[in-house]
Amino acid sequence: MKYFISLILLLVSLSIQAEIYRGVDEEGEVFYSDKELPNSELIPTPTPNAISMPKPEPKKPAAEVKQENQYKSFRIVSPANDATFKDNAGNLTVSLSIEPDLNTEKGDHIRFSIDNRVVIAKSTTLITQVPNVDRGTHSLKAELVSKSGKTLLSSSVKFHMKRFSILHSP
CA 16 to chain centre: 37
* 81 SS3 class: coil
How many residues make up the chain in this entry?
170
The DSSP secondary-structure symbol of 168 reads G
Amino acid at 65: V
pLDDT digits 0-9 by tens, 39-91: 888 888 777 677 777 888 787 665 554 455 688 999 999 999 999 988 888 89
Q: CB neighbours (10 Å) of residue 87? A: 16
Q: What is the pTM of this model?
A: 0.57
First to last CA, the chain: 98
d(CA 59, CA 16): 32
Instruction: Check residue 2 and give its pLDDT.
Output: 62
- List the domain boundaries for the chain: 2-43, 70-164
- Superfamily (CATH H level) for 70-164: Immunoglobulins (2.60.40.10)
Query: Percent of the chain, pLDDT > 70?
Result: 79
